[in-house]
Amino acid sequence: MRDVAKHAGVSVSTVSHVINETRHVSTDTRQRVLGAMDALNYQPNRLARSLRVKKTQTIGMIVPDSSNPFFSEIARHIEDYCFEQGYSVILCNSDGDLDKELFYANVLVEKQVDGILFVAVGLSEDNILKLNAQRIPIMLVDRQIPNLPLDSVLADNRRGGWLATQHLIEHGHKRIGCITGFSDLTPSSERVIGYHQALEEHNLGIDETLILQGDFHLQSGYDRANQLLDMNQPPTAIFCGNDLMAIGAMRAAGGRGLRIPDDIAIVGFDDIPIAQFTNPPLTSITQPLKKLGRLSSQLLIERIQKKDLDVAQHMLEVDLAIRQSS
């Protein structure tokens, strides 16, 4: 900075004010300083500035599976919004592992991020409490942690499960299988509750043997669908807890020579972009991925800038995208 000041013929404090925008500097002086910085190839030390003002303009994001198109779509919208607001994003992939989740949470604390967008593994209460003790603003995305008063943005998963099952019932299906995700995740459990509600409203009863747990990946959808289709009375339709499992289920049905939707109807959840390009195109519950990403980012930044805001929980509406698989 001293070299820049000497080159521009100004004081070091004037250079500091230009870099940090802490005081008005005349246009002519500002241009001389910027010209000197360019001539000397001077790069301000952002880390030093961050330590001084105690803000890094950085947000951390922890997701359980960055290879899942659902999370990558959300992450893209989060990054877009944060970039518009002058924040950078550090993306961490926990692989659904609590220890790895805690490791990355500690890394983000060490990096002094201003806030964290958190897609929890499931039983993450202890990890989040440790973060909360650091007084770092946290936004729960897509999932809630019971009994923790934290900001959250998620979709109406219960209604989504109801919409999917209601749609299949309206098309004459009475024996409907369900491939769900992990039971300790609020999206999974809420989608199953919606599935139950639709069946009960039509007096179809609940057959627990038709509900199998997957892990939100293609292979589990394929394996669980084969289990359902091996039953003495296989279902005529399957509601899957996400699109990846639904695509796996479609592969299982196709491998048996079953026609979709004539012999077996399949509905997914999330409406990831690839859902429109499966064969046949997949009927799915549409989550507002763009709104989910941008709203969670917006609210976290508001929390960073004003930490005494009341805790807010936002639930976004879902819809049913009807295509040829049902």
| CATH number of the domain where residue 184 is located | 3.40.50.2300
Decide which of 53 and 255 is more confident: 255
Q: Domain range spanning residue 187?
A: 157-286
**pLDDT tens digit string along 126-184?**
778 777 777 889 999 988 777 778 889 999 999 999 999 999 999 999 999 999 998 87
- The CATH number given to whatever domain includes residue 39 is 1.10.260.40
Residues 162 and 225 in one domain: yes
- Expressed in percent and rounded to 5, the helix, strand and coil fractions of the chain are 50, 15, 35
Residue 325 lies in a domain: no
Cis before 261 (ω within 30): yes
Q: 252 and 269 share a domain?
A: yes
Residues 194, 260 within the same domain = yes
Both 243 and 149 in one domain: the answer is: no
- Residue pointed to by tokens 């459990």: 189
Q: Quick one: 32 and 70 in the same domain?
A: no
For the chain, the distance separating the N- and C-terminal CA atoms, rounded to the nearest angstrom, is 66
Is residue 242 domain-resident? yes
Domain annotation covers residue 326: no
87 and 130 belong to one structural domain:
yes
Measured distance CA(311)–CA(233) in Å, rounded = 48
More confident call, 275 vs 101: 275
| Unique residue bearing structure tokens 């491998």 | 255
The structure tokens listed for 17 are: 């004010």
In a domain, 145, yes or no: yes
The answer to whether position 129 is within a domain reads yes
Cα separation, 155 vs 12, in Å, equals 52
Domain check: are 28 and 176 in the same one?
A: no
Does residue 165 sit in the same domain as residue 282?
yes
What's the pLDDT band for 122 if we cut at 50, 70, 90? low
Q: Are residues 140 and 173 in the same domain?
A: no
CB 253 within 8 A of CB 282: no
pLDDT tens digits for range 287-310: 999 999 999 999 999 999 887 788
Sign of CA dihedral 46, 51, 53, 59: positive
194-244 pLDDT, tens per residue? 999 999 999 998 999 999 999 999 999 999 999 999 999 999 999 999 999
Number of domains in the chain: 3
Residue 66 lies in a domain: yes
